[in-house]
Structure 1
Amino acid sequence: MKKKHVVVPLLASFLMFSSYQAPAESEVDAAKEESGLKKKLDTVLADEDLKGALAGVSIRMAETGEVIYEHDAHTRLKPASNMKLFSGAAAMDQLGPDYTFSTEVYAEGTIRGHKLHGDLYLKGKGDPTLMMEDLEKMAEELKENGIREVKGDLIADDTWYDDVRLSEDITWNDETHYYGAQVSALTVAPNEDYDAGTVIVAAYPAEKEGDPARVEVTPKTDYVKIINRTKTVPADGERDISMEREHETNRIIVEGTIPLDSSRSRSWIAVSEPTGLALDVFRSALEEQGIKVKGKNKEGKRTPKKALKLITHESMPLAELFIPFMKLSNNGHAEVLVKEMGKVVHDEGSWEKGLEVVDSYLKSAGVDTSTLRLRDGSGMSHVNMIPAHEISELLYQVQDEKWFSAYLNSLPVAGNAERFVGGTIRSRMQDTAAEDNVQAKTGSLTGVSSLSGYVTTKDGEKLIFSIVLNNYLVEDVGDLEDRIAVILAEHRFVEEE
């Protein structure tokens, strides 16, 4: 149910009555403070760095929803990763904080002795946190079940979602980067940041000057091919290593120079067709357990209904997944959640059906969806359009949801150096009133920056704020967002006597 809230400014409410009565002294003080707050915020938004840009700002009381300051707040702007506030809220509501993703192993055929006379299926159901270690444990469990040989093929079933790998507005140069990784129902992450569908490529200096660098890939796999064009140079030489995947291939070019005794240089690279990566890693895990697969690796085939389920691996619950998702602003997680909502609600794991679920939830939460354009779950699209007013509206409405504590806990905390606490604002607003106070989601694209969340004022009032900046030409405007957040953290509605 949509919560009712006050949207009439404090002083304007007095003018609604013809029999005007003088406000009490405390009300006058509050009005003065509100006027002072407006001047401070207006000054920040008049900064030269925003000349010719668009700035949508909406600030409201967290308890009542009363809007106390807005600047172009109804102008539709690109939200960047503030889009995750919307997709994340919908996922919490539709799936629930205890929801888990499963990965399953099936056998089709006859098991006689230690041999499977048939095919072995690895069926993915969207888990974006599946790692090599999980696949190794599944291989161990298969061995414990007595299987030592698979006579048929090893088949990857990724049909839980559709086969559209990228949302429609991903640009060509984003496709090979970790933040633009392809989405598959069966995928694997290289470490506990859970950037599924990527590999970590690390270059180390050789022992001898002039030799190529030593290049390692995590998870260990032959699914990608490393083209090593590097050279180890003297200790005082230049460190200049680049790592790029050739478009529409899994050839990764590593080139440049790395000095002797230098630390490693590494990069997360998105692979083409991540289903194949997961299957390759699983086959290696089987081989490590001494399980031979006679047939080939095959992808995209649906598991037969008559197949026997042998193993089920469950992911962490959604409330736990939200920590890396929101704290580190993981794009892949957002897109998986959208497809999962489409699958659960409409039995179709697609962006189209998933975004229908997001839109439906937002309507029920009291957000005006008629003024939004939603194109993905992560905010990578430059076609998403959301006014700051509707972001602050959402953050107001979700406070009464039973899952709100998990949602709030997932937001980055200003100035907290702990990576999975401070997240994307761990180095911002340090040594200010906003440190360990502001809990907010960041967003960043070229010419786009956003920061929306919660802050408590000096006199204990909790505020909701949304700042969305578009079309600026300077490199970064995060300092302006921080200035606004600090102003709010330092604010007092009633002056101390």
Structure 2
Amino acid sequence: MTSVKQFGRSARAENHQTLTEQIHTIVNDKRLKGAIAGVSIRSAITGEILFDHHGDTRLTPASNMKLLTAAAALQTLGSDYKFQTEVLADHRHGEIIKGNLYLKGKGDPTLLPEDFDSLAEQLKLQGITQVNGDLIGDESWYDSEYLSEDMIWSDEDEYYGAQVSALTASPNQDYDAGTLMIKVSPNSGEGSLSGVKVIPETDTISIINNAKTVNENEDAEIKINRKHGTNTIVVSGTISKNSNPEKAWVAVWNPASYALNLFGQSLKKHGIELKGEEKLGKTPDQAIRLAEKKSMPLSDLLLPFMKLSNNGHAEVLVKEMGKVMKEEGSFQAGLEVIRSVLQEEGLNPDDMCLRDGSGISQISLIQTNQLSFLLYRIQDKPWFDFYLNSLPIAGMPERMVGGTLRNRLSNTDAEGVIYAKTGSLIGVTSLSGYVRSEHPLIFSIILNQFIDEDEMEKIEDQLAIVLANYNGETNAKAD
């Protein structure tokens, strides 16, 4: 079988073939037997369709759905948009908060433990030393539907399936909101329990540690799972005594309580005494604001969102669009905003099935011709450069440059030329974006109903190499 690198060399040798002929050969590969391939290729300059293979067939897009979400968010919220988190109080008398202190979340998916420290420090600098009432976490900015309707229950403890709350926290600068990190380390004694550390530390979860350290010659595997509907995390399996620590990101149950607990720890660290309890509730309208934290602008958030294909960011943006544009922080309202943006750009959302903002749904359906048309239309938007630069770049090893394409298409003519969003579900893979070459192209590739994902990615890569070598010639618009 021809390797991707071999294909990259042969593509240059076969430049006498037209774009249509080369792609036709690939989409009729025997590896696609029984699968469905949708391929749409356009001129980035004129928008003309240069190749169309089942381009009007509805297919499950996986994370290519994020291309729609990102475009709609930039169009409606703007590239400078920032999320806010506020600290408010019932009454303040000198250094004492009389009544409750409120932590009000407004959707920021980038809050880190140090941000809660910063909020506590703002209170400390105002001379506040005591809260007589309770510490209330307010997540009412969004509705209480924490997961998109097609999320399967077995994914709820995975980092990519975290609950969407207006008040949440992330363990590090990947900004996987609503998750924490579990670090498992070997101990020196064989058969002893392994060391388990939670990052960041929080009182909202409990750990059941059944993991044991074994001899370095034994097979070892660590398993980390959160019990459904709880914040009990079970660590099991074995780890070799000479191995490096293993890390896993786990989605928490009820991220608002998790964020609130981190803020409570920050208050204590800064010498602010809480007399009452930590609980969830709603901030009264008459509460006075004492501190706030603004997120990075949307233009910067796009990098971890799109480069790393962050599902949580997508769903937060859906709810935020609903809140800002329709005064309703819900999936339904946000998806209506996306549909409106698509319609304004000349697409037909009634011919699609849009179920979430991230593409984790197996039910969502779009056509490659419509997706490629959207990518063509937005090129003249004032925010387009932010959008383009957020896309993974083929073969670029830096994590926040190459993103999910950093380990693909290296040492081929597609390296550094293909800017595209990847997508993957069971039986689904997708790759859509731009060819930044002398003859710029726009493309959308969605493959469904296959068995071997590795082989499908090879087919995508072969198509990408052909596009990177496009010399401006074509002999037909459709297959």
TM-score (norm: length of structure 2): 0.94
Q: CA deviation at 1:302?
A: 1.8
Mapped partners of 2:106, 2:208: distance in 1:
33
What is the DSSP-based 3-state SS (H/G/I as helix, E as strand, rest coil) of the residue aligned with 1:60? Answer: strand
**Corresponding position of 2:461:** 482
Mapped partners of 1:108, 1:258: distance in 2:
50
**Corresponding position of 1:6:** none
Whether 1:105 and 2:87 are equivalent positions in the alignment is yes
The structure whose Rg is larger is 1
- 1:127 is matched with which residue: 108, 126, 130? 108
Q: CA deviation at 1:494?
A: 5.6
Distance 1:332 1:205, change over 3 A: same
**Corresponding position of 1:493:** 472
What per-residue deviation string (whole Å, max 9, x for no partner) do you get for residues 160-191 of structure 1?
A: 00011001000011111011100000000010
Q: CA deviation at 1:235?
A: 2.6
Equivalent positions of 1:66-81 (< 5 A) are 66-81=48-63
List 4+ stretches of structure 1 deviating above 2 A.
Answer: 32-36, 111-114, 207-210, 235-239
What is the DSSP-based 3-state SS (H/G/I as helix, E as strand, rest coil) of the residue aligned with 1:449? Answer: strand
**Corresponding position of 1:313:** 293
- 2:142 is matched with which residue: 121, 138, 161? 161
Whether 1:417 and 2:397 are equivalent positions in the alignment is yes
**Corresponding position of 1:254:** 235
**Corresponding position of 1:181:** 162
- Is contact 1:456-1:488 (8 Å) kept? no
- Is contact 2:80-2:298 (8 Å) kept? yes
Equivalent positions of 1:84-483 (< 5 A) are 84-109=66-91, 111-299=92-280, 301-457=281-437, 460-476=438-454, 477-483=456-462
RMSD: 1.4
Higher relative contact order (CA 8 A, sep 6+): 2
What per-residue deviation string (whole Å, max 9, x for no partner) do you get for residues 320-362 of structure 1?
A: 0000000000000000000000000110000111011000000
Mapped partners of 1:35, 1:490: distance in 2:
11
Q: CA deviation at 1:473?
A: 1.1
What per-residue deviation string (whole Å, max 9, x for no partner) do you get for residues 176-231 of structure 1?
A: 10111000000000100000000111100113222211111111112111100011
| Matched residue count | 460
Mapped partners of 1:34, 1:269: distance in 2:
52
Gaps of 5+ in 1: 1-31
Q: CA deviation at 1:368?
A: 1.9
What per-residue deviation string (whole Å, max 9, x for no partner) do you get for residues 82-126 of structure 1?
A: 0000011000000000000000000112x3342212100000000
- Is contact 1:413-1:439 (8 Å) kept? yes
- Is contact 2:18-2:473 (8 Å) kept? no
- Is contact 2:306-2:392 (8 Å) kept? yes
- Is contact 1:232-1:258 (8 Å) kept? yes
Identity value in percent: 51
Q: CA deviation at 1:33?
A: 7.2
